[in-house]
A and B are shown apart, each in its own frame.
Chain A
């Protein structure tokens, strides 16, 4: 980036890092003493504090154990918790590293300029918050408070959402929608009238067959799903996996369909064709609950497996056999909706096809298919009503009629003069999301940042986004704070408590405290009518028949269902929450809005010669870019590799473990080299990388310069016209064998 107003600042280059460590009373020596001292402890002699994990969004509940000196020494899952059944995944077990990471943000920082050189200086909380509050007031007076946007992720976001709503801004977005699971939410809502929830309402426990389309359970450690699938393997579940890569779960599958990337809709349509024209679908279910079957039947008439073979590379017999396998298990079959589904810009339509396939198999509302999810309603702590904003995130989404949540990229566009008409957004608070890694087309994000009048970033770690902030507010880790009660959809409603197991290290603070202090400075005291968030939790818990005291002892509380049975009863009259009350195979809603009422296959771009489609995914021990610096998890995997098929490598004369640079179709070159993994697990036309690596902030001492960033390579965005999802998988890369950079320090 050509630096102008907002130079990227590397925090440690200012010498304040050392000062902060000295001031904190913490040193690496403490840490290693903890590590090296031989201990054989008995968990029952230790103190334990309930928490729910913050390393990913599955929010598994567990315990943080502290020794006599008050040090947190171990994290374990809570046996009563449905999300983890007493077993954290590697990230949950290694969550300890978030607390102990010496690279954590340690004190509030404020951007200053001296002799044309910008740097951060340490600030007191009072000074930093006063500055944020004065900017919030300034934006309100100058443009209206709606022009101050909140971009957030996870639990800190909840506290700031309350602050922003009280302040009068609902210009709020999170990358979890348009950069991740948004299309699935809309595709299922259009079909079944409801979303699949999180954790998804997949009844893997009782399924006889599961179909995974690009979804790599086991590499994504969505805990309860991994556990249920593993149990199901013991029971003999048949797995069908569609993936251009032999994923871990593809290797456990009865049918692996190594599809040509971007052709999934053709495969789905041909499966639908087989089910209908071979009479394999659940006829009584479809007759009773679905509308538009005749239109669908006509629509897929010509989408035979032979037609699909030419597009997908999957042999017709395999398409037929796998469709029959699903039908054999029906209704105890799940065509998994996936989670990160922003691929090619027709993603809502693809998830519609998945939903339709499930409907034909009669799996929605059936044992072994999708259960009717339920969650515990938690009453809001009393506060006055929020003021009515003049405009909200909805006004930024107008181009996308089926968007039901803020689109981060639209907030970004509205922050740049002359991009999309009005330049409405003037300032951001970014909480808990590393925007330069989580949002594609980094240059657009940087351009928006360039135009902001103010940027405040709240984070635990010196993620790249902090380098662009005017003010950085250091949040404490989840092991050091209270947070809102976890209440997620599942088979049975449950709640979980997050409580502090230790005092915040350094000068970090919980997000609820920051939000409250800012509220006070903005004259919004009545919205924060408590001294400690524990009071809020205790009040809320008492409304639902428990208390903070009880929850501190048990951590998790499971409740009886109140919404009725988990599954449809035989021949039950059931009204779906769609306009017709039926499962809509044909969507009039889409038709009326000018879109295809049933999914169609449209060919996508293919890589040019010597270019390969970039496919990215997860490694089980990491959550995006968030965990790469975590000492425990970094120890397991400290860099990503680029997976290349050996036949391709031979053409290029690339060797195993060779360090290469990658360049995309727009000429963007990776900042750092990435090691080559030669493997037969990947197709010839594609390469694969684990997402989240290639950090370029030196303050992340373990993560800096390790591997390459897939996000940097994603500059071609295929936007979903229905809901604004940013399709990320039409980016192609080629290899550079010699260092294209001069003077890049490694």
Chain B
């Protein structure tokens, strides 16, 4: 089993509902976020194009944050999810520095490093991550890429996609349909 997320940039409108849903689901303090939306614009008026992306931890296959963590708080859990055990984290920030996606932050009150968990507490109960289940455009898909019948596997088989910063060699597992 390998959990991944597939996000359709052709449908995303950048509304940031994923961000608020994550904040209320996971107690993310104001001023911080586990997911965010980026916009890139190319061309000159009127020959312009843009891309909107909901971004978060890429739950990499080769995660630098796990390698750099001195205590083992950052680790790979079942389904390939990269997670942080809060009470093992010493807040050294090495993982934050090593992440090419800038996906981690230090919790201002608790001190540990926090990031997207793919809402594993929901997934365990058969629910989708909060961002996926709230998205009004249904542009986000979550599932097991090893299951050829899963929505994510089918989409990746049929559609053109990309990952972010492939040159970093992290083997990211968030796929963007383009």
Contact = CB atoms under 8 A, between A and B. Distances in A.
A605 interface: no
Interface stretch (A245-253, A333-341, A491-499): A245-253
Interface string B101-142: 000000001100000000001000100000001111111000
B89 interface: no
B24 A90 contact: no
Interface string A60-99: 0000000000000111110000001001111001101000
A90 B45 contact: no
Interface stretch (B9-17, B144-152, B163-171): B9-17
B156 to A, nearest CB: 16
Given A36-B109, A89-B15, A218-B15, A645 B45 contact: yes
B41 A230 contact: no
Interface string B11-43: 101111101110111010111010000000101
Contacts of A645: 45
A221 interface: yes
B45 A684 contact: yes
Given A73-B24, A680-B45, A230 B17 contact: no
Contacts of B46: 246, 256, 258, 683
Nearest to B138: A230
A343 B107 CA distance: 46
Contact of A681 (B11, B13, B41): B41
A223 interface: yes
Q: Which of A75, A246, A258 has the most CB of B within 10 A?
A: A246
Nearest to A631: B30
A88 B20 CA distance: 11
Given A218-B13, A620-B14, A632 B20 contact: yes
Contacts of A679: 41
A680 B29 contact: no
A231 B20 CA distance: 22
B1 interface: no
Interface stretch (B47-55, B59-67, B68-76): B47-55
A94 B10 contact: no
A644 B98 CA distance: 36
B16 A230 contact: no
A395 interface: no
Given A39-B27, A636-B19, A87 B13 contact: no
Given A40-B121, A89-B17, A681-B48, A230 B136 contact: yes
A219 B20 contact: no
A416 interface: no
Contacts of A90: 15-17, 19-20
A93 B17 contact: yes
Contact of A621 (B16, B50, B109): B16
A96 B25 CA distance: 12
Given A36-B29, A230-B137, A681-B50, A221 B15 contact: yes
Contacts of B30: 35, 631-632, 635
A226 B137 CA distance: 7
A32 B33 CA distance: 16
Q: Which of B24, B133, B138 has the most CB of A within 10 A?
A: B24
A93 B24 contact: yes
A234 interface: yes
A258 B47 CA distance: 10
Nearest to A93: B20
Interface string A85-125: 00111100110100000000000000000000000000000
B41 A233 contact: no
Contacts of A681: 41, 45, 48, 50
Given A90-B15, A223-B136, A620-B15, A35 B29 contact: yes
A34 B124 CA distance: 24
Interface residues of A, number: 54
A68 B110 CA distance: 23
Contacts, number: 128
Q: Which of A35, A230, A682 has the most CB of B within 10 A?
A: A230
Contacts of A223: 136
Contact of A36 (B11, B86, B110, B139): B110
Contact of A635 (B14, B21, B31, B50): B31
A93 B21 contact: yes
Nearest to B33: A635
A74 B11 CA distance: 26
A227 B19 contact: no
A37 interface: yes
A708 interface: no
Interface string B81-99: 0000010000000000000
A35 B27 contact: yes
Nearest to B139: A230
Q: Which of B19, B29, B48, B135 has the most CB of A within 10 A?
A: B48
Interface in A37-56: 37-40, 42
A268 interface: no
A632 B136 contact: no
Nearest to A87: B136
A633 interface: yes
A645 B43 CA distance: 12
A231 B138 CA distance: 8
A60 to B, nearest CB: 10
Contacts of A39: 27
A96 B24 contact: yes
B17 to A, nearest CB: 4
Given A35-B29, A258-B46, A633 B11 contact: no
Interface in A258-283: 258
Contacts of B125: 42
Contact of B24 (A74, A218, A230, A620): A74
Contacts of A234: 11
Contacts of B41: 246, 679-681
B24 A246 contact: no
A88 B17 contact: yes
Nearest to A226: B136
A217 to B, nearest CB: 8
A684 B45 CA distance: 9
A216 to B, nearest CB: 9
A246 B20 contact: no
A684 B44 CA distance: 11
Contacts of A32: 109
Contacts of B10: 233, 252
A38 B27 contact: yes
Nearest to A76: B134
A621 B16 CA distance: 7
Nearest to B50: A251
A248 B52 contact: yes
Given A90-B20, A230-B138, A219 B45 contact: no
B50 to A, nearest CB: 5
Contact of B136 (A89, A251, A637): A89
Interface string A507-527: 000000000000000000000
Contacts of B138: 87, 227, 230-231
Nearest to A60: B136
| 3 tightest Cβ-Cβ pairs between the two chains A and B | A218-B13, A620-B15, A230-B137
Given A94-B24, A246-B50, A681-B48, 4 more contacts: A218-B15, A231-B138, A621-B15, A680-B41
16 contacts: A38-B86, A87-B134, A93-B17, A93-B24, A218-B13, A219-B13, A227-B138, A230-B136, A231-B138, A246-B46, A248-B13, A248-B14, A258-B45, A620-B13, A679-B41, A680-B43
Interface of A: 32, 35-40, 42, 73-77, 84, 87-90, 93-94, 96, 217-219, 221, 223, 226-227, 230-231, 233-234, 246, 248-249, 251-252, 256, 258, 620-621, 631-633, 635-637, 645, 679-684
